[in-house]
């Protein structure tokens, strides 16, 4: 008990010294409840446009004035209002306070679809309410299917705003029951089948791909603000092939929904996500860029994305890259965010056949309270989904479908709790390369560090409190621990090094100074 108390005091001192010059937000300082009126200038380690709120023509249609009734679906009335205003140069379609029912809504250029305070819209679960099939992307593969509950295609200057609440299809509805259940999507839909022939309407009881909640596709200048989304059928907010996207002040509740991701940026660029609160059944804030051969054919990256002042609550990952990575994920900047009671914190996924990968990714001023790993790379997956490709060995030849992650920086991080500080499961033929962590305080970690297939890893000015004391390295090279303080009940660390490629692992100005029996371990 005395040792634990001493360690706690030491860590408190370290946290104070680490954060004196840097302010790292707490959960009551971020998220949807803290949304400011104006958009502050964006500063990123790469070129970004300056984001401003969209402007719409001063014309409004309130659906109540067009005969909308609570006991009938408002789909036709809302769609007619959108079409009319768009044809006249734009304006605002207002869904007023009240309880409403709807099928799919299709946004058009220069229209702001506004859900007023007190508006509650319940979306249908009937397949017929989402016809005809539209062009969409599901788990990184293009097809013709239901699309999204709120959908747009090749439109400009569109918005979904307001403080209304939108609720997805009932849990026992036809759409959910007819979901395609034939394994991973790349094994069901051939990349060699023309997209126009990949048709899944769901009519007549045939299978469907679950619709997303809000998915603008191939659009420019997209603005989403304020709405609350609940009970989605699939991913919640998913810009696909878009350029110029602002998502701010939204709230997502999808806990208990399989694949209930919060925000998925799919092969889109110039994106700002801020002051949003996600409580999800899968990953919270997610970057994706297409899957396997179909994603390589499209070859569109997700790039130039800033995520700031956001709160991730329940979810598999606070901020996740992948596992769809074919077109590359690059130029991502995440700062001043809090992950509270989330699974993994900063998460990377890919698979040997996914292609592409991620690079030039920066995290700053992040606070994490996690049930899973703080930093987690899962690049092999499991046999359930990719068969023998999930086996680390034998080392495969490089192909266009071999993904990689490289050039990743994380600075000024507080981890209040985690199951493991760092867990890297890389790909032998493309190891995780160039990871730099600086100014990190990690408390209450169950386990320390695993580095499997990693190259050029630097941990500088890091303090870690853990129950276990093992650093496990397999084919890890060029690894530097500089000014790293390890605190654990045994007061020592052990570094287990395996693999013919392991080399150049250094401990400089650390405490303890070096692992137990380090010279013998290195010489072995």
Question: What is the sign of the dihedral through the CA atoms of 177, 182, 185 and 189?
Answer: negative
Before 144, cis peptide (omega within 30)? no
Contact 277, 313 (CB under 8 A): yes
Average pLDDT, the chain: 94
In a domain, 10, yes or no: no
Nearest in space to 251 (alpha carbons), one of 289, 218, 213, 219: 213
pLDDT tens sequence across 22-53: 999 999 999 999 999 999 999 999 999 999 99
Instruction: Report pTM.
Output: 0.95
Alpha-carbon distances, residue 293 vs 41, 187, 408 (angstroms): 38, 11, 26
In a domain, 318, yes or no: no
Give the angle subtended at the CA of 58 by the CAs of 56 and 61, to the nearest 5°.
100
Helices (H), 370-488: 383-386
- H/E stretch holding 18 reads helix 2-19
In a domain, 474, yes or no: yes
pLDDT tens sequence across 366-375: 999 999 999 9
Q: Work out the pLDDT band at 3, boundaries 50, 70, 90.
A: very low
pLDDT of residue 522: 59
In the predicted structure, residue 524 carries a pLDDT above the cut 60: no
Q: Is 232 left (phi over 0), alpha (psi -120 to 50) or beta?
A: beta
Contact 406, 431 (CB under 8 A): no
List, in sequence order, every residue forming a beta bridge with 223; answer none if it has no partner: 159, 246
HSE-up (13 A, CA, CB side) for residue 218: 9
The stretch 241-249 carries a mean pLDDT of: 98
In a domain, 168, yes or no: no
Q: Which residue has the higher pLDDT, 521 or 312?
A: 312
Contact 265, 324 (CB under 8 A): no
In a domain, 79, yes or no: no
Measure the CA dihedral 136/284/222/129, to 10°: 40
In a domain, 497, yes or no: yes
pLDDT of residue 181: 83
Q: How far is residue 372's CA from residue 313's CA, in Å, rounded to a whole number?
A: 13
List, in sequence order, every residue forming a beta bridge with 518; answer none if it has no partner: none
pLDDT tens sequence across 376-412: 999 999 998 899 999 999 999 999 999 999 999 999 9
Q: How many domains does one find in the chain?
A: 1
pLDDT of residue 12: 46
Q: Work out the pLDDT band at 517, boundaries 50, 70, 90.
A: confident
Burial class (CB in 10 A: 0-12, 13-18, 19+), 30: buried
Coil vs helix vs strand at 271: strand
Backbone angles phi, psi at 479, to 5 degrees: -115, 125
pLDDT of residue 11: 47
DSSP assignment letter at 174: H
pLDDT tens sequence across 294-344: 999 999 999 999 999 999 999 999 999 999 999 999 999 999 999 999 999
Q: How far is residue 380's CA from residue 426's CA, in Å, rounded to a whole number?
A: 7
pLDDT of residue 520: 54
Q: How far is residue 278's CA from residue 272's CA, in Å, rounded to a whole number?
A: 15
Q: How far is residue 263's CA from residue 176's CA, in Å, rounded to a whole number?
A: 20
The stretch 281-293 carries a mean pLDDT of: 98
Residues 6+ apart with CB under 8 A from 320: 283, 284, 285, 286, 287, 344, 347, 348, 349
pLDDT of residue 191: 94
Alpha-carbon distances, residue 72 vs 67, 81, 166 (angstroms): 10, 16, 16
Q: How far is residue 350's CA from residue 499's CA, in Å, rounded to a whole number?
A: 23
State CA 211 to chain mean position distance.
18
pLDDT of residue 518: 86
pLDDT tens sequence across 90-106: 999 999 999 999 999 99
pLDDT of residue 160: 99
The stretch 66-88 carries a mean pLDDT of: 97
Contact 120, 184 (CB under 8 A): no
Number of other CB atoms surrounding residue 67 within 10 Å:
10
pLDDT of residue 497: 96
E-strand ranges in 24-68 read 60-62
Contact 324, 297 (CB under 8 A): no
In the chain, % of residues over pLDDT 90: 93
In a domain, 291, yes or no: no
Q: Work out the pLDDT band at 6, boundaries 50, 70, 90.
A: very low
The stretch 7-22 carries a mean pLDDT of: 51
Q: Work out the pLDDT band at 8, boundaries 50, 70, 90.
A: very low
In a domain, 75, yes or no: no
Alpha-carbon distances, residue 112 vs 61, 164, 422 (angstroms): 11, 14, 44
Task: State which residues form the domain around 356.
Answer: 349-524
Nearest in space to 498 (alpha carbons), one of 474, 522, 524: 474
Q: How far is residue 413's CA from residue 438's CA, in Å, rounded to a whole number?
A: 8
Q: What is the distance in angstroms between the CA of the first residue and the CA of the last residue of the chain?
A: 37
């Amino acid at each position: 008990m005395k040792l634990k108390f001493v360690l706690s005091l030491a860590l408190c001192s370290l946290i104070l010294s680490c954060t004196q010059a840097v302010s790292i937000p707490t959960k009551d300082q971020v998220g949807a409840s803290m949304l400011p009126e104006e958009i502050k200038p964006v500063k990123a380690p790469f070129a970004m446009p300056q984001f401003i709120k969209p402007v719409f023509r001063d014309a409004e249609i309130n659906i109540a004035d067009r005969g909308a009734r609570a006991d009938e679906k408002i789909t036709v009335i809302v769609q007619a209002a959108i079409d009319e205003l768009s044809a006249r140069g734009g304006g605002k379609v207002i869904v007023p306070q009240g309880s409403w029912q709807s099928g799919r809504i299709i946004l058009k250029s220069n229209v702001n679809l506004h859900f007023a305070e007190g508006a509650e819209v319940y979306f249908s679960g009937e397949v017929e309410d989402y016809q005809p099939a539209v062009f969409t992307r599901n788990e990184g593969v293009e097809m013709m299917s239901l699309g999204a509950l709120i959908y747009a295609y090749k439109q400009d200057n569109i918005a979904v705003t307001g403080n209304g609440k939108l609720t997805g299809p009932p849990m026992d509805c036809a759409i959910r029951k007819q979901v395609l259940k034939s394994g991973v999507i790349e094994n069901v839909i051939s990349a060699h089948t023309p997209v126009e022939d990949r048709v899944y309407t769901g009519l007549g009881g045939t299978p469907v791909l679950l619709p997303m909640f809000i998915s603008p596709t191939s659009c420019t200048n997209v603005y989403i603000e304020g709405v609350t989304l609940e009970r989605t059928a699939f991913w919640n907010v998913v810009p696909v092939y878009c350029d110029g996207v602002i998502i701010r002040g939204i709230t997502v509740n999808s806990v208990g929904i399989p694949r209930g991701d919060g925000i998925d940026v799919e092969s889109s660029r110039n994106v700002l996500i801020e002051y949003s609160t996600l409580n999800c059944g899968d990953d919270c804030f997610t970057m994706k860029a297409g899957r396997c051969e179909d994603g390589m054919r499209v070859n569109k990256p997700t790039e130039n994305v800033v995520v700031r002042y956001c709160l991730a609550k329940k979810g598999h990952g606070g901020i996740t890259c992948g596992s769809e990575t074919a077109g590359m994920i690059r130029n991502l900047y995440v700062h001043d965010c809090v992950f509270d009671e989330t699974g993994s914190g900063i998460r990377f996924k890919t698979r040997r056949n996914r292609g592409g990968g991620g690079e030039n990714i920066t995290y700053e001023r992040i606070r994490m309270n996690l049930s899973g790993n703080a930093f987690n790379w899962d690049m092999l997956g499991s046999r359930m989904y990719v068969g023998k490709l999930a086996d680390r060995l034998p080392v495969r030849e490089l192909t266009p479908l071999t993904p990689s992650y490289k050039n990743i920086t994380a600075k000024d991080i507080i981890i209040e709790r985690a199951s493991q500080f760092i867990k890297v499961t890389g790909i032998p033929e493309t190891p995780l390369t160039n990871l730099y962590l600086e100014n990190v305080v990690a408390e209450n970690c169950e386990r320390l560090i695993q580095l499997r297939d990693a190259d050029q890893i630097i941990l500088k000015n890091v303090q870690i409190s853990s129950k276990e004391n093992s650093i496990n390295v397999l084919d890890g090279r060029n690894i530097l621990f500089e000014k790293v303080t390890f605190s654990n009940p045994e007061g020592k660390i052990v570094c287990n090094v395996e693999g013919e490629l392991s080399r150049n692992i250094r401990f400089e100005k650390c405490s303890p100074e070096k692992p137990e029996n380090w010279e013998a371990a290195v010489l072995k």
